[in-house]
Amino acid sequence: MSIPVVRLNEIAMLELQRRINEDGMQIKPDEIARHAHNRAKQLGIPVIEAAEFFRFMIEKTSAKTMDNLGTLIVEEISKK
């Protein structure tokens, strides 16, 4: 394969972010820790890695949501 593993991982992350942006992401604070444990077990990775990954994706998704809301606020203020 000519694509380095690091690049494949970057592409996988971009695809995951695209899917979350299109399909959404359900976040239930009371269930996220259990979900991280379950996903870690399914993937065969340490729980801490699953938790850190979820935290990263939630922060990234939340930042985009806040940016979109900020844009909406500015647009609405400029209408007045």
Task: Say yes or no to pLDDT of 22 above 90.
Answer: no
Question: pLDDT band at residue 52, thresholds of 50, 70 and 90?
Answer: very high
Which residues, other chains included, contact 44 with Cβ-Cβ below 8 Å and sequence gap of 6+? none
Task: Say yes or no to pLDDT of 13 above 80.
Answer: yes
CA angle 54, 59, 60 (to 5 degrees): 100
- The model carries a pTM of 0.70
Which residues, other chains included, contact 43 with Cβ-Cβ below 8 Å and sequence gap of 6+? 50
63-78 mean pLDDT: 91
